A and B are shown apart, each in its own frame.
Chain A
């Protein structure tokens, strides 16, 4: 079992390295191949265990480590695509024929690309529009605001309990709201 895992990890590393260095810049449709995903799909189609999840994570991590895109983008996309491939195989295909291999490959790649672009654009949009979340001043002011308002409620509490007036008495007799 161990040697099989080691071979698979080595294979996924080679696929990830090939994806990074070998396919980029090549002409025709060669650069559109997705080697790690093809290996993952092969594993999904031929084995029943969950090792494909760990391998998807490994492949994504390798690409994340080298890439300058937001960290986790490749890992998340590979994991989601592997899960999507598994779900498609389990619920929409009955056998492991040639057509299953071809259609599953096409659908999963489609899912991969859509998910990747959506996630990437969502992250860049979020980073553009929610920069204030990353600023320490924002969190400082948020915390300060919470403390100030909490203290104000303490003042309201003592005012409510110790201020001898009709307002206080009315409040004790029945609920304010």
Chain B
């Protein structure tokens, strides 16, 4: 006989004891009753064998969990809307203050400022040129429109657009980088007549984005270099839509699906075509930086630099139809 009667009885019990010891040593550190204060974690082993005392019940966590669940449900039912609105109203002064501080910080730490050389003058001149380009493009669009109107004497269009001015209160969506880098928020919303799809302009009148979503008193806008931003685009001389302008990687805006017959060159102005409802024709999106089509392509393509400067955007205007 390999084991005596005594050892035969003792052996499995001893093994079980050893197993319990290992389990308690490991598990009791993880699942000890007050690991989460107030929550009782009882494993099967503890329930049957643990010599540890039962935890003191603390109902605060249960109350808290219940209140939180009610909070979420109340939001979806709509009961929380006044509280949310008052929270936004309370935060608004802070948001404006911090947003202006953010704007000055971004201008201070922008690459051009950091170089600290006589680029200031060049920058000012560039801004002036861009302003003139916008003005020129607007006049050309008006002239073209005038010509069309003269051609079609019977046609009469009275498109009065009403701008709404709004403060930029935040740049980027928190913790959702990198796709939200080119997103910003305005302090106007649905109650001011804003709705998704409307165009946003900067102080010079260049396209600075498109509204993606609105709440009562806040709007989420994409910058033209954001992939979420799309515009029906037109060239300077063209009468209709020539392609679709869409942001790429937060750096440039690409115009795709340009028919082969359209003649484009570097430096041409790309503007809104007026095809989309609520977006008038002739708003400057940017200037062609590079043509991307090859001889085999069915469609032409172009990369454009937006004329609007994301870093200097503090006040924007939304064009209401």
Q: Which of B87, B101, B172, B181 has the most CB of A within 10 A?
A: B87
**A residues less than 8 Å from B106 (CB atoms):** 25-27
Contact with A along B188-223 (1 / 0, CB 8 A): 000000000000000000000000110100101000
Q: Which of B67-75, B116-124, B261-269, B283-291 binds A?
A: B67-75
Q: Which residues of the other chain, A, contact B64 by a CB distance below 8 angstroms?
A: 53
Q: Mark A50-66, 1 if CB is under 8 A from B, else 0.
A: 10010001000111111
Partner of A14, one of B84, B94, B101: B94
A to B contact number (C-beta, < 8 Å):
109
B23 at interface (Cβ–Cβ under 8 A)?
A: no
Question: Which of the four size classes fits the interface of chain A?
Answer: 35 or more
Q: Given the complex, which residues of A lie within 8 Å of B109, measured CB to CB?
A: 26-28
B35→A21 contact, CB < 8 A: no
Residues of B within 8 A of A27 (CB): 106, 109
Q: Would A72 and B169 be within 8 Å (CB), given that A24-B102, A26-B109, A86-B37 are in contact?
A: no
Residues of B within 8 Å of A14, CB to CB, are: 94
Q: How far is the CA of A25 from the CA of B312 in the complex (A)?
A: 12
Cα separation A57 to B63 with both chains bound (whole Å): 14
Interface string of A16-58 (1 = CB under 8 A from B): 1111111111111001001000000000000000100100010
* 0/1 interface trace, chain A 118-138, chain B, CB 8 Å (1 if under): 001000000000000000000
With A26-B106, A69-B176 known as contacts, the answer to whether A21 contacts B213 (CB < 8 A) is no
A83 within 8 A of B: yes
Q: Across the interface, do A72 and B72 meet the contact criterion of CB distance under 8 Å?
A: yes
- Answer whether residue A96 sits at the interface, using C-beta atoms and an 8 A cutoff: no
Q: Which residues of B contact A74 (CB under 8 A)?
A: 174
Closest residue of chain A to B36 (Cβ to Cβ) is: A87
Given known contacts A13-B90, A66-B185, A79 and B68 CB-to-CB distance under 8 angstroms:
yes
Given known A-B contacts A13-B91, A62-B87, A68-B215, A57 and B68 have beta carbons under 8 A apart: yes
24 contacts between A and B (CB under 8 A): A17-B95, A19-B174, A20-B91, A20-B95, A21-B99, A21-B169, A21-B171, A22-B101, A22-B102, A24-B172, A25-B171, A25-B311, A57-B71, A61-B84, A61-B87, A63-B174, A66-B185, A67-B173, A67-B174, A68-B213, A68-B215, A68-B220, A69-B176, A112-B175
